């Protein structure tokens, strides 16, 4: 495919040109012929880049086979040139001033010989470039420059619209009626239909809207290459509230099935299993779900009618075929993205709009995709008619899925060249993977997919690229920040991911290894980017042998079965062009980086261990050789000592270490550092803590103070004073500050900030605060606040929080007070007052969370006009106090929250009767059911095994 082939080459071309320019400007003692060769390569590649940009704007049908072959050769040539540059710079980057005379002399001779080899290699590359340049002269040359893009607020709303509106009310009601009949038999419904038809959306809506009480719930996705053991572990983790997490990794399939059956045998459960691809996968899952005839419900989705029949074999089972949207619903979804409503559509566009929607066949994903495409085009009849013709080129006889692919091709062709490589990069993530948007942008930057030299501006540009992909409906926002303008996490619809993967593999942009083995492009012997996904079936030694000598720029490792591979990491981390090593999953094996000098081009090293224990590896002592490293993320590890050489990483921007990490003195040397977490100050030296104040560019700091007040020694008090001094200086420039296990006495650094409000935007104060600090009222730029308090919140404290003018997210956690203090639990027979939230303050709050520990009690009342913009409310409440605050239970006034859209309620059932638990849930669901927004309500019950028995706890106590 034309644009696909162009995109990967243009992605690397900008990086190559930049490095060639840098080599000419740096003080290397280049041989004359080598310097001339480098200058020639730079000029010729700049011309080639313009040709590639031109090709990226053309459809596949417009480019002849010779041009396609040319693109492939240019792509590999650009990689080879960059490899040559990286090797040269590596040769000149070692051997400091402290080396003795003999070593220096030997090294100069060695470099001289290597540079002669460089000149010869450049001449060979020059010949190849000349050859390809001659072939390219037949094509016109013009270029386009990308522009930063803001998130279109209609784009995230479109996915909510697809969920809440179009054509879903009738099917949802019909399925719920099938599942909630009076008979208590085991019930199954299987929703099947074409890809992109909205099966998952419909199933999730049914899952959310079933309001009956269940002992446990779970939602899991299966995918094309399922790891059934992991899937069963995920279900068991959800239904048991993580009760078995530390054990299930060691269980075999039979033990997992047995334990799940034992856990569910006497429970009423609701489980949604999405995207089943084989009868065999369903049969294994089904064997773990007992038919206990107490009203349990299983919902499945699949593309296959045969699999749906298999799911529905038995009494109480129903197949439901997802239907395409009708004309009215299709129009509502389409025009919602482009004009807010059908009435706002210009009259001259209505006829062509109707024809375009006919081509979409009522598929929600097709409608969303084509609307995202048109949203970035001029709203003229000519432009829209041309789009219609392109869709029609697929032929009227094609199936829905063929037309869906055609629409995706159009969306891909319409992308500016700078977005194509960024979109293809999403192929490194497994199906159904929840992508951290900031991590994605950092990976783009490390892979040189974002143009520019200034890192901060490159990250900002990366954010605009992501916004553009979301605006075009190619990436789906999963979590949007409270400000509504920043997407925190995202995912790729499986149909779109299939398309992206096929193009990335075809273009040798990414090589994938999963349960099916290598993707088909690995035979080209030049793996550029390697994505090792879940369910690796071959032995690790085979993988190591295959990729040991590959020219790999990045390695992304996912899943739980990669420990054997990680153990051999040093064997394949030997190429000189590696930029990214990103490990996400369960890692039990130790990982050694081997000879660091061989991976000195690395920019991003991250390892996130999702297992019960931290990663057991260690960092090499010669870490200073990673002079290009910008991100070192080992926060979820058991590494206890960070090498002293870390302070020599002059380009390090993000340093995230685990809570047990001990850092060397001299942290102030890292002048590029902007983020530092999570630092346990009790493990650091006084000199280190003092050095924090020298980090003039630090914007994000996360620290913990683990000393207990009663055991602090002289050194502890000295560290505390040093910490307060450093924080006082940092507080005038920090954007985010997270502190854990803190006490009131250590907050004095905030009171020293007078005059201009500090720039702090996010503040987390967790631990041992007895009251809301009055200094918070001076933080006028604060948008996100999370605070942990002992005992109750005073009225003064509520007023302080309400006074923050631009606060959009607030989280309050209440913990038991100190021993000897009066309990905050209501005394029997006495109704205690609720926390009243009135119309004053909290004018911009969008998210509000209240967490209450068992030994404390919280009752809330929202008065008319309270929190007018609040959309999300999350509550963790103690059910045993439901009847202790008078009529209405623990929460009053939900109907007064005018903007409410989502309520998440966690009920702590310990020591509570079933009446108290049911009453609390019924109160919330009842008010939400008559709220004018009809907010989504999700309820989870915790610790049901620890509930009290009997009808009423008060009556039981009195007896």
The pLDDT of residue 321: 87
Query: How far, in Å, CA of 755 to CA of 748, rounded?
Result: 16
| pLDDT classification of 891: cutoffs 50, 70, 90 | very high
Highest mean pLDDT, choosing among 238-252, 566-580, 898-912 = 898-912
Q: Is the separation of the CB atoms in 338 and 345 below 8 Å?
A: yes
Higher pLDDT, 136 or 622: 622
The pLDDT of residue 801: 94
Of 369, 346, 483, 347, whose CA–CA distance to 415 is shortest? 369
Of 118, 128, 129, whose CA–CA distance to 28 is shortest? 118
Of 216, 223, 217, 220, whose CA–CA distance to 233 is shortest? 220
Highest mean pLDDT, choosing among 74-88, 498-512, 698-712 = 498-512
The pLDDT of residue 692: 94
The pLDDT of residue 317: 80
Sequence-ordered alpha helix ranges (H) in 165-269? 169-179, 199-209, 228-239, 245-248, 253-264
Give per-residue pLDDT as tens, 731-763.
888 999 998 877 666 676 776 555 678 899 999
Averaged confidence pLDDT in the chain: 78
| pLDDT classification of 272: cutoffs 50, 70, 90 | very high
The pLDDT of residue 952: 41
Q: Is the pLDDT reported for residue 896 higher than 90?
A: yes
Q: Is the pLDDT reported for residue 615 higher than 80?
A: no
Domain range annotation of the chain: 8-137, 153-157+327-391+398-509, 168-321, 761-817+831-950
Q: How would you write 253-276 as a 3-class SS string? A: HHHHHHHHHHHHCCCCEEEEEEEE
Three-class DSSP category at 719: helix
Three-class DSSP category at 609: strand
Surface-to-core class of residue 887, CB atoms within 10 Å of its CB (0-12 exposed, 13-18 middle, 19+ buried): exposed
Higher pLDDT, 186 or 151: 186
| pLDDT classification of 400: cutoffs 50, 70, 90 | low
Query: How far, in Å, CA of 520 to CA of 513, rounded?
Result: 10
The pLDDT of residue 60: 56
Q: What percent of the chain has pLDDT over 90?
A: 19
Q: Is the separation of the CB atoms in 54 and 3 below 8 Å?
A: no
Q: Is the pLDDT reported for residue 563 higher than 70?
A: no
To the nearest 10 degrees (0 to 180), the angle between helices 400-413 and 381-392 is 130
Which two three-digit tokens encode residue 715? 């050194």
Give per-residue pLDDT as tens, 321-373.
888 888 888 888 888 888 877 788 888 888 898 988 888 888 888 888 888 88
Average of per-residue pLDDT across 642-650: 92
Give per-residue pLDDT as tens, 235-245.
888 888 777 76
- Fold of the 168-321 domain: Rossmann fold (3.40.50)
Query: How far, in Å, CA of 364 to CA of 368, rounded?
Result: 6
The pLDDT of residue 31: 61
The pLDDT of residue 469: 92
Average of per-residue pLDDT across 152-160: 62
| pLDDT classification of 682: cutoffs 50, 70, 90 | confident
Q: Is the pLDDT reported for residue 171 higher than 70?
A: yes
How far CA 606 is from CA of 23, 455, 632, 675, in Å, comes to 29, 18, 6, 14
The side-by-side arrangement of strands in the sheet containing 317-321 is 216-221, 269-276, 297-302, 187-192, 317-321
Q: Is the pLDDT reported for residue 19 higher than 90?
A: no
Query: How far, in Å, CA of 434 to CA of 768, rounded?
Result: 33
| pLDDT classification of 687: cutoffs 50, 70, 90 | very high
Q: Is the pLDDT reported for residue 802 higher than 90?
A: yes
The pLDDT of residue 941: 82
The pLDDT of residue 852: 87
Three-class DSSP category at 788: strand
Higher pLDDT, 321 or 707: 321
Average of per-residue pLDDT across 786-802: 89
Residue bearing tokens 């057991």: 616
Average of per-residue pLDDT across 928-933: 89
Q: What percent of the chain has pLDDT over 70?
A: 75
Q: What is the DSSP string of 731-772?
A: TTT-SEEEEEEEEGGGGHHHHT--SSPP---EEEEEEEESS-
Q: Is the pLDDT reported for residue 955 higher than 90?
A: no
Q: Is the separation of the CB atoms in 582 and 556 below 8 Å?
A: yes
| pLDDT classification of 898: cutoffs 50, 70, 90 | very high
The pLDDT of residue 655: 95
Which two three-digit tokens encode residue 417? 């060249």
Average of per-residue pLDDT across 208-227: 80
Q: Is the pLDDT reported for residue 202 higher than 80?
A: yes
Average of per-residue pLDDT across 37-52: 71
Give per-residue pLDDT as tens, 466-487.
999 988 889 988 888 887 788 9
The pLDDT of residue 877: 92
Higher pLDDT, 22 or 154: 22
Give per-residue pLDDT as tens, 500-553.
998 898 888 898 887 766 777 666 567 888 888 865 545 566 666 666 656 788
Q: How would you write 136-170 as a 3-class SS string? A: HCCCCCCCCCCCCCCCCCHHHHHHHHHHHCCCCHH
Q: How would you write 44-97 as a 3-class SS string? A: HHHHHHHHHHHHHCCCHHHCCHHHHHHHHHHHHHHHHHHHHHHHHHHHCCCCCC
Of 157, 764, 696, 218, whose CA–CA distance to 473 is shortest? 157
Three-class DSSP category at 109: helix
Residue bearing tokens 């590999």: 76
Angle at 958 between CA 956 and CA 959, to 5 degrees: 65
Q: Is the pLDDT reported for residue 228 higher than 80?
A: yes
Query: How far, in Å, CA of 97 to CA of 351, rounded?
Result: 75
Q: Fill in the DSSP letter of residue 345.
A: S
Query: How far, in Å, CA of 396 to CA of 390, rounded?
Result: 12
Q: Is the separation of the CB atoms in 763 and 807 below 8 Å?
A: no
Higher pLDDT, 817 or 430: 430
Hey, which bits of 360-471 come out as E strands? 435-436
Q: How many CA atoms lie within 13 A of 362 on its CB side?
A: 14
The pLDDT of residue 64: 61
Average of per-residue pLDDT across 689-714: 79
Give per-residue pLDDT as tens, 93-131.
554 444 444 444 444 444 444 455 666 777 777 677 776
Q: Is the separation of the CB atoms in 243 and 215 below 8 Å?
A: no
């Amino acid at each position: 495919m034309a644009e696909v082939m162009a995109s990967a080459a243009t992605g690397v071309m900008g990086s190559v040109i930049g490095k060639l320019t840098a080599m000419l400007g740096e003080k290397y003692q280049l041989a004359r012929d080598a310097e001339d060769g480098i200058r020639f390569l730079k000029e010729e590649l700049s011309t080639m880049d313009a040709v590639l940009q031109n090709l990226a704007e053309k459809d596949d049908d417009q480019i002849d086979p010779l041009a396609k072959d040319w693109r492939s050769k240019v792509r590999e040539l650009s990689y080879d040139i960059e490899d040559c540059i990286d090797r040269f710079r590596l040769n000149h980057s070692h051997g400091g001033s402290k080396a003795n005379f003999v070593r220096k002399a030997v090294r100069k001779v060695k470099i001289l010989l290597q540079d002669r080899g460089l000149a010869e290699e450049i001449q060979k590359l020059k010949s190849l470039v000349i050859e390809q340049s001659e072939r390219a002269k037949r094509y016109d040359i013009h270029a386009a420059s990308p522009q930063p893009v803001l998130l279109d607020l209609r784009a995230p709303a479109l996915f909510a619209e697809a969920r809440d509106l179009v054509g879903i009310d009738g099917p949802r009601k019909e399925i719920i009626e099938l599942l909630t009949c009076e008979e208590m038999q085991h019930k199954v419904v299987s929703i099947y239909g074409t890809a992109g038809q909205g099966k998952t959306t419909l199933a999730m809506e049914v899952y959310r809207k079933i309001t009956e009480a269940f002992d446990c719930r779970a939602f899991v996705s299966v995918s094309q290459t399922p790891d059934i053991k992991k899937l069963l572990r995920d279900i068991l983790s959800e239904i048991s509230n993580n009760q078995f997490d530390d054990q299930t990794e060691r269980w075999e399939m039979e033990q997992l099935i047995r334990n799940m059956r034992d856990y569910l045998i006497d429970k009423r459960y609701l489980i949604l299993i999405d995207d089943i691809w084989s009868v065999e996968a369903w049969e294994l899952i089904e064997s773990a779900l007992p038919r206990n005839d107490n009203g349990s419900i299983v919902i499945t989705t699949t593309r296959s009618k045969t699999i749906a029949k298999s799911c529905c074999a038995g009494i109480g089972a129903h197949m439901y075929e997802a239907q395409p949207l009708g004309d009215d619903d299709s129009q509502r979804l389409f025009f919602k993205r482009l004009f807010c409503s059908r009435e706002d559509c210009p009259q001259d566009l209505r006829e062509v709009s109707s024809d375009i929607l006919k081509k979409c066949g009522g598929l929600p994903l097709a409608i969303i995709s084509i609307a995202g495409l048109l949203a970035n085009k001029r709203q003229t009849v000519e432009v829209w008619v041309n789009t219609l013709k392109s869709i029609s080129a697929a032929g009227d006889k094609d199936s829905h899925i063929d037309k869906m692919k055609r629409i995706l091709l159009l969306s891909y062709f319409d992308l500016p060249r700078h977005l194509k490589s960024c979109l293809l990069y999403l192929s490194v993530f497994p199906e159904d993977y929840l992508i951290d948007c900031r991590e994605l942008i950092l990976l783009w930057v490390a892979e040189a997919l974002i143009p520019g030299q200034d890192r901060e501006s490159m990250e900002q540009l990366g954010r605009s690229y992501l916004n553009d992909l979301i605006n075009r409906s190619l990436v789906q926002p999963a979590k949007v920040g409270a400000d509504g303008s920043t997407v925190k996490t995202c995912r790729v619809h499986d149909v779109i991911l299939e398309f992206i993967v096929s193009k990335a593999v075809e273009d040798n942009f990414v090589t994938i290894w999963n349960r099916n083995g290598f993707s088909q492009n690995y035979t080209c012997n030049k793996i550029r980017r390697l994505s090792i996904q879940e369910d690796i079936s071959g032995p690790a030694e085979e993988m190591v042998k295959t990729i040991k000598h590959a020219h790999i720029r990045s390695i992304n490792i996912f899943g739980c079965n990669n420990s054997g591979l990680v153990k051999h990491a040093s064997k394949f981390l030997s190429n000189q062009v590696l930029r990214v090593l990103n490990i996400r999953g369960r890692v039990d094996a130790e990982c050694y980086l081997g000879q660091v000098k061989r991976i000195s081009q690395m920019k991003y090293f991250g390892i996130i261990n999702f297992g019960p224990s931290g990663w057991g590896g260690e960092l090499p002592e010669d870490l200073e050789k990673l002079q290009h490293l910008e991100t070192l993320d080992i926060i979820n590890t058991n590494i206890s000592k960070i090498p002293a050489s870390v302070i020599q990483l002059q380009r390090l921007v993000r340093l995230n270490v685990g809570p047990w990490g001990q850092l060397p003195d001299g942290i102030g040397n890292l002048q590029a550092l902007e983020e530092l977490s999570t630092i346990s100050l009790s493990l650091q030296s006084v000199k280190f803590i003092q050095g924090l104040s020298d980090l003039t560019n630090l914007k994000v700091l996360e620290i913990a103070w683990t000393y207990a007040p009663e055991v602090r020694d002289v050194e502890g008090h000295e560290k505390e004073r040093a910490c307060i001094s450093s924080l006082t200086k940092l507080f005038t420039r920090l954007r985010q500050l997270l502190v854990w296990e803190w006490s009131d006495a250590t907050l004095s650094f905030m009171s020293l900030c007078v005059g201009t409000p500090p720039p702090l935007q996010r503040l987390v104060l967790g631990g041992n605060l007895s009251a809301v600090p009055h200094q918070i009222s001076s933080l006028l730029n604060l948008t996100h606040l999370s605070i942990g308090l002992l005992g109750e919140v005073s009225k003064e404290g509520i007023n302080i929080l309400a006074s923050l003018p631009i606060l959009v997210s607030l989280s309050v956690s209440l913990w038991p007070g100190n021993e000897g203090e009066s309990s905050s639990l209501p005394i029997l027979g006495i109704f205690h007052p609720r926390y009243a939230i009135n119309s004053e303050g909290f004018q911009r709050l969008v998210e509000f969370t209240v967490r209450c520990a068992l030994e404390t009690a919280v009752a809330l009342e929202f008065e008319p006009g309270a929190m007018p913009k609040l959309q999300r409310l999350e509550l963790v409440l103690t059910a045993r106090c439901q009847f202790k605050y008078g009529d209405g239970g623990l929460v009053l006034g939900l109907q007064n929250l005018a903007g409410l859209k989502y309520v998440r309620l966690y009920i702590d059932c310990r020591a509570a009767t079933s009446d108290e638990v049911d009453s609390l849930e019924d109160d919330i669901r009842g008010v939400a059911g008559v709220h004018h927004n009809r907010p989504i309500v999700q309820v989870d019950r915790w610790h049901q095994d620890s509930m009290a028995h009997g009808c009423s706890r008060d009556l039981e106590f009195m007896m």
